[in-house]
Structure 1
Amino acid sequence: MTNNIITEGEFTYSEGGEGKAIVLLHGLMGTTSMFDRVFEYFVNNGYRVLVPELPIYSLPLLKTNVKHFSQFIKRFIEHKNLDRPIIIGNSLGGHIALYITKDYPEIVSDLVLTGSSGLYENAMGDSYPKRGDRSYVRKKAEMVFYDPKTATESMVDDLFEIVNDRGSVLRILSLARSAIRHNMAKDLPDMKLETCLVWGKQDAVTPPEVAADFNKLMPNSELFWIDKCGHAPMAEHPEQFNKIVHDWMIKHNI
């Protein structure tokens, strides 16, 4: 997927396959590469898959929030002339998908949420990103996964570079605060579309009780667990994640 980067106007994205459209949305501290195995699987199983890069570090600070990001993805869907795509969102990406569904329900077909924010998140834990402290950065990267070894040196390098840029840190904090402000609890009961919830049993960022709350509040949701898995099931256990989501799609004729 990383060899297929397209830039058109304000959008940078990867695209492949043909068929029903799927839009994959990464999280605040994640990248499009977290979805590499998901992209490959669904492209090979009859879907058109698109992975836009969220403009986390490029929008003006005042627009670095969940609402403006949902508007950005709406523009992307319209730019690509997508007919009611399925949206699969991890962490902040799930929150953006929910916000789009609330404000523009006519442009979304179905949802897959995995480790989604929108009810509760612990992205920063009890402290802010610390510049120059590589051990802190590694700890935060490892917190995303059940198996700390999943946090590769390249991931730590990328995150270390981000937290040592003042502008990037300000945007991360702005988005984290925006996610807390834009709590979706009152909106979820009105979201009637089919929703697949895939959660890691050991998610330390959006803990299992958050998944249970999503499932309780969303009328047409189904919750699936992956054991020995943290906040990013699609990256840590891609085979299980893909099977769960694809089986759910088949069940609902999606």
Structure 2
Amino acid sequence: MKYQLHQIEKFKFLEEGEGEPLLLLHGLFGALSNFSDLVEHFRKTHKVIVPILPLFELDIFHTTVHGLAKFVHKFIEMRGYENINLLGNSLGGHVALVHILKHPEKIKTLTLTGSSGLFENGMGDSYPKRGDYEYIRKKTELTFYDPAMATKELVDEVFEITNNRLKVIKIIALAKSAIRSNLGEELNQIKQPTLLIWGNNDTITPPFVGQEFNKLIPNSELHFIDKCGHAPMMEVPDEFNKILEAFLAKTKQSAAPIR
């Protein structure tokens, strides 16, 4: 389904539905399409928000996980959201973690799926190879348990990004920033109810990463999904939405965010 993007100042974002805010943060090669099933499901009960992260627009000095987290904070302030259910996939999960550690006051719940912040396998030392479509196709397939999920449209998107020299520099900067920004010693500060949804076949942030997050974040619960890779909300949307819906229902009656 096609959704209308809003633009206010430097912020481009999707906002659909009414209710408690459910704010979604995409990953390094993320786009609105990653969340299409999730948006369609939850717009009936929540205000679903997807800010487009400026992965390629920030200057190189601010092209970091922390730079993106500052952008998210400014976006939340600009829109005046409260009682936010914050969800991040992959790099977006890492950005969500940095944000909640610095600005917990407006966050009600946290959901991470395939998040970096502790450990992640990159696309490989030789990545990205410019101009090699077959290589990019194979690397994109690694995101999923079912390689058929790497559609031509998706591979074309990644291929276009990796053929742009400036975008490649920004991708490498963000990937290095994610590796440097290990949050292991800070995760015990997170007080919000936290949901961890992990693919049992995730090769980028393998299952042990989900288990480690579960161990380090005090009020967290972990759910594994079989035959699923790094992007559960894309690969198994029905099961993902069911787990998230139960979690949000359980926390709906709870008090305001922990400050």
TM-score range, shorter chain: over 0.9
Q: Which amino acid aligns with 2:173?
A: S
Q: Distance in 1 between matches of 2:80 and 2:72?
A: 12
Corresponding residue for residue 81 of structure 1: 80
Q: Distance in 2 between matches of 1:2 and 1:174?
A: 31
Q: Which amino acid aligns with 1:32?
A: L
Q: Distance in 2 between matches of 1:125 and 1:107?
A: 37
8 A contact 1:192–1:219 mirrored in 2: yes
Corresponding residue for residue 124 of structure 1: 123
Q: Summarize deviations over 1:5-51 as a string: whole Å, max 9, x none.
A: 1111111111111110010000011212100110111111x100101
Q: What count of residue pairs does the alignment treat as equivalent?
A: 253
8 A contact 1:64–1:174 mirrored in 2: yes
Corresponding residue for residue 148 of structure 2: 149
Q: Distance in 1 between matches of 2:9 and 2:2?
A: 19
Q: Which amino acid aligns with 1:35?
A: F
Q: Distance in 2 between matches of 1:205 and 1:109?
A: 28
Q: Secondary structure at the match of 1:155?
A: helix
Say what the alpha-carbon RMSD is for the aligned residues. 1.0
Shift of 1:3: 2.9
Q: Distance in 2 between matches of 1:177 and 1:146?
A: 25
Moved more, 7-16 or 199-208: 7-16
Unpaired segments ≥5 residues, structure 1: none
Q: Summarize deviations over 1:111-138 as a string: whole Å, max 9, x none.
A: 0000000001113234220000001100
Corresponding residue for residue 56 of structure 2: 57
Q: Distance in 2 between matches of 1:132 and 1:153?
A: 16
Q: Which amino acid aligns with 1:71?
A: K
Q: Distance in 1 between matches of 2:29 and 2:236?
A: 18
Q: Secondary structure at the match of 2:88?
A: strand
Corresponding residue for residue 16 of structure 1: 16
Q: Distance in 2 between matches of 1:97 and 1:38?
A: 18
Shift of 1:248: 1.2
Corresponding residue for residue 159 of structure 2: 160
Corresponding residue for residue 212 of structure 1: 211
Corresponding residue for residue 169 of structure 1: 168
Q: Distance in 2 between matches of 1:133 and 1:125?
A: 14
Q: Which amino acid aligns with 1:150?
A: M
TM-score of the superposed pair, with normalisation by structure 2: 0.95
Corresponding residue for residue 100 of structure 2: 101
Q: What percent of counterpart residues are identical? A: 48
Q: Secondary structure at the match of 2:252?
A: coil
Shift of 1:139: 1.0
Q: Which amino acid aligns with 2:23?
A: V
Q: Distance in 2 between matches of 1:84 and 1:181?
A: 30
Q: Distance in 2 between matches of 1:87 and 1:249?
A: 11
Q: Distance in 2 between matches of 1:225 and 1:158?
A: 28
8 A contact 1:201–1:226 mirrored in 2: yes
Q: Distance in 2 between matches of 1:9 and 1:61?
A: 21
Shift of 1:253: 2.7
Q: Secondary structure at the match of 1:225?
A: strand
Shift of 1:61: 1.2
Q: Secondary structure at the match of 1:170?
A: helix
Q: Which amino acid aligns with 1:15?
A: E
Q: Secondary structure at the match of 2:196?
A: strand
Corresponding residue for residue 202 of structure 2: 203
